[in-house]
Amino acid sequence: MVIDQTEANAEMIEIIFFGRGGQGGVTAAELLAKAAIRDGLYSQAFPFFGTERRGTPVQAFARISDEPIETASHIYEPDIIVVLDPTLLKIKEVMQRLKKGGTLVVNSAEKPVVEGVEAKKLAYVDATSIALKWIGKEIVNTPMLGALLKAEPLVKLESITEEVDKRFGKENVEAVKEAYDKTIVEGS
């Protein structure tokens, strides 16, 4: 799902990050959008909160395009879903939103069981262990950016690591790189 940057083939990719408050989903969407801009693409990122407290479900949206983005609505049928907390896989309405033939990226040590989803591609990595190793906390946003880019190279890995370094420092950059290297991608 690499964005073709030729004028004749304009494409917009829509992504939803599903996580829980405190896992960094909103920040992940923002970092992805900034990396896209660094790569000369157009992007936007915005959150959707229910109750704003640690541990509650959170959604963050990102769009990346090679042309200006004129829509500002929520994303209802994303090309890619990134799941920061694997317990959210049990919420059918969350997973059923994935566009047919889309990509699902999950924080999971083992291949996740996903029912009712027609993903063309499934990617997973134990982002929690990687976050604990490099960051010392279960904040999985930066490792999940590495997993996302392994599954779908939407932006250059260097662009993400530069944005992550600017915001958080070297430990988070290492978390991105390790997750990128360890992510298992199934499908095409």
User: What is the DSSP track for 111-156?
Assistant: PPP--S--EEEEEEE-HHHHHHHHTSS---HHHHHHHHHHH---S-
Position 51 scores a pLDDT of 56
φ, ψ of residue 143 to 5 degrees: the values are -60, -35
Span 168-182, average pLDDT: 98
Amino acid of residue 154: L
pLDDT for 13 beyond 50? yes
Position 5 scores a pLDDT of 41
Cα 45 from Cα 127, distance rounded (Å)? 22
The pTM assigned to this predicted structure is: 0.90
Cα 51 from Cα 178, distance rounded (Å)? 32
Task: Name the residue ranges covered by the structural domains of the chain.
Answer: 7-187
Cα 56 from Cα 3, distance rounded (Å)? 33
Position 55 scores a pLDDT of 66
Statement: 7-187 belongs to CATH 3.40.920.10: yes
pLDDT for 54 beyond 70? no
pLDDT for 2 beyond 80? no
For 59, the enclosing helix (H) or strand (E) is: strand 57-65
